[in-house]
Amino acid sequence: MGALYSVAEIRQAERAAAAQLPPGTLMQRAGRAAARIALGIIGAEPVAHQALVLAGPGNNGGDALEVAASLAQSGVGVTLVQLGRADAAGALNHIPAGRQWALVVDGLFGIGLARPVEGAARAMIDTVNALACPVLALDVPSGLDADSGAVIGPDGVAVRATHTITFIGDKPGLHTLAGRDHAGHVIVDRIGIDEALLPGASVHMNEPAMFGLAFAPRLHDSHKGTFGDVAVVGGAHGMAGAPILAARAALLSGAGRVFVASVDHGPAFDSGQPELMFRDAASFNFAGSTIVAGPGMGDSATAIRLLGKALDGDNPLVLDADAINLIAASPDLQARLAARTAHTILTPHPLEAARLLGVTAGVVQGDRLEAAREIAARFDACVVLKGSGTVIAMADGEALINPTGNPGLASAGTGDVLAGLCGSLLAQGWPARDAALAAVWMHGEAADRLVAEGCGPIGLTASELPAAIRRVLNRMVAERPKPAGQPQS
């Protein structure tokens, strides 16, 4: 389900399959598969010069030539521009930026590109990105790293496709970092290759099937103590809103009791959510609570002392924001984190992850999967590396990329909501892995639903998320997958 493969793994399967087939078979299959998708995009009544096909010098270009031939045989008017031909640049200069093209097919470069796109190829990509028509990329949008999702090169360029047909197996770079902006709708076609030729995947797409069995309906014979306590530790001076957002998310996602344990003197109650209980963190008894540490926590001596206490305890623990920064700055706190045996989830954004690893945010973003895995292994924890295509990594090397969410989440406080949601599921008895996967998926799905209702993505606020998450959660409980052999309701 939702397996993602590296370029090296795809190449290995491709070589194995090609050795069993006549030369050119895979290229022909790829071309025909892409042509079927192209015809579906173009629709009925093809007219002259409807499709512009860009072909590069390698196998990706060969796929593009097959697409061009198949489209022409189907009655589509095709203009073919081949990179490396003397007239390529001149032909591009005469491409009108209007609605003449029903489709552009990007077959310039495939998954093997290792250097920034330059010269005539860059001019082609710039021209394509200025056109107002659908763009179908073959295997991967040209200029995009199929493993990392980064645009190749510090000043690189990549095709912005509306659709990508990717061959043999799906690739992680299509779903994280810049990949989501450049790949568009992703279609996977195995081009007849036996799945047995692919290795067992260690990276998958996050989806409800990965965690859905952890959902359970609530019994009538239950009470607030059944669903656990969450204590959000934060709220340094001037940052009281962050722990309140986390606490509201914990409450509306089902935790039995939720406390805001303030580092500094904070509000006595939340008028918007009076069910929350406020305590002084220094004197609060954390026994039995799942702790969410970090939202608005600050870097005071009190904050450091409270964080150390949380790390040394056996409470399930979510570490976010300032808690992560404090740990990154202290070898002692890092050692205490690594020594924990209780469930632990870290939710860094790229800069916080970079601080934990002692690198730059650019290094983290250059290989988000590897960065998340390294943090998870180093601290024996579940790591949620936030961003476009959030990566969830486990200490054993398993990693997943989350498909839900939108730019509306790029606003203040949404990470606090996610941390509170993680803590709530831990408090309700979920394992850290399932809690992280479900929280990230529902957090993004709630944002997507708000956008569908007209509440964003521009101007979507963190305080709108908890109620939307509650709706998503209750729907998922009602529609939860049943164990094998159990009748579906």
- Binding-site positions for AMP: 386-390, 415
- Bridge partners, residue 54, by sequence: 81, 106
φ and ψ of 38, to 5 deg: -60, -45
Tokens at residue 289, please? 């609570």
Measure the CA–CA gap between 79 and 40, rounded to whole angstroms: 18
- Binding-site positions for (6S)-NADPHX: 59-63, 110-116, 139, 242, 296, 349, 416
Tokens at residue 347, please? 């939710």
Could you give the C-alpha distances from 312 to 136, 304, 340, in angstroms and in order?
Answer: 53, 12, 7
Tokens at residue 104, please? 């552009």
State the first-to-last Cα distance of the chain, in angstroms, to the nearest integer. Answer: 23
Measure the CA–CA gap between 180 and 160, rounded to whole angstroms: 10
Measure the CA–CA gap between 400 and 126, rounded to whole angstroms: 32
Q: Which H/E stretch holds residue 209?
A: none
- Binding-site positions: 59-63, 106, 110-116, 139, 142, 242, 296, 349, 386-390, 415-416
**Of residues 135, 70, 86, 65, the one with CA closest to residue 106:** 135
206, 181 in Cβ contact below 8 A? no
Beta-strand relationship, 229-234 and 163-167: unpaired
Q: Which long-range contacts (CB under 8 A, 24 or more apart) does 73-78 make?
A: 74/35, 74/39, 74/46, 75/46, 76/38, 76/39, 76/42, 76/46, 76/50, 76/51, 77/46, 77/47, 77/48, 77/49, 77/50, 77/51, 78/49, 78/50, 78/51, 78/52, 78/53
| Secondary structure of residue 192 in the 3-state scheme | coil
- Bridge partners, residue 230, by sequence: 258, 290
Measure the CA–CA gap between 287 and 310, rounded to whole angstroms: 10
Task: Indicate the length of the chain as a whole number.
Answer: 489
- Binding-site positions for K(+): 60, 106, 142
